[in-house]
Amino acid sequence: MFHKEGHKIIIIATTIVVAGILLIDTLVTLPWLKMLLEITFLIFFVLILQFFRNPKRNTVVNDNQVLSPVDGKVVVIEEVEETEYFNEKRIQVSVFMSPINVHVTRFPIGGKVLYSKYHPGKYLVAWHPKSSTENERTTVVVENTSYGKVLFRQIAGALAKRIVNYAKVNNTVSQGSDKGFIKFGSRVDLFLPLDTTIKVKLNEKVRGGESIIAENE
Q: Please spell the DSSP secondary structure of 73-111, one letter per residue.
A: EEEEEEEEEETTTT-EEEEEEEEE--TTS--EEE-SS-E
pLDDT score at 66: 97
Locate all alpha helices (DSSP H) within 52-191, ordered by sequence.
131-134
- Residues with a catalytic annotation lie at 186
Confidence (pLDDT) at 157 = 67
The pLDDT tens digits along the chain (217 residues) read 777 776 888 899 999 999 999 999 888 889 899 999 999 999 989 888 877 888 889 999 999 999 999 999 999 999 999 999 999 999 999 999 887 888 889 999 999 999 999 988 776 665 556 656 667 889 999 999 899 999 999 988 655 556 788 999 999 999 999 988 876 657 899 999 999 999 999 999 999 999 999 998 7
Helix (H, G, I), strand (E, B) or coil at 40: helix
- Spatial distance between the Cα atoms of 110 and 69, rounded to a whole number of angstroms: 12
- Report the chain's terminal Cα–Cα distance, integer Å: 36
What whole-number distance in Å separates Cα of residue 131 and Cα of residue 28?
45
Q: What pLDDT, on a 0 to 100 scale, did the predictor assign at position 185? A: 58
CB 103 within 8 A of CB 97: yes
Say what the pLDDT of residue 88 is.
96
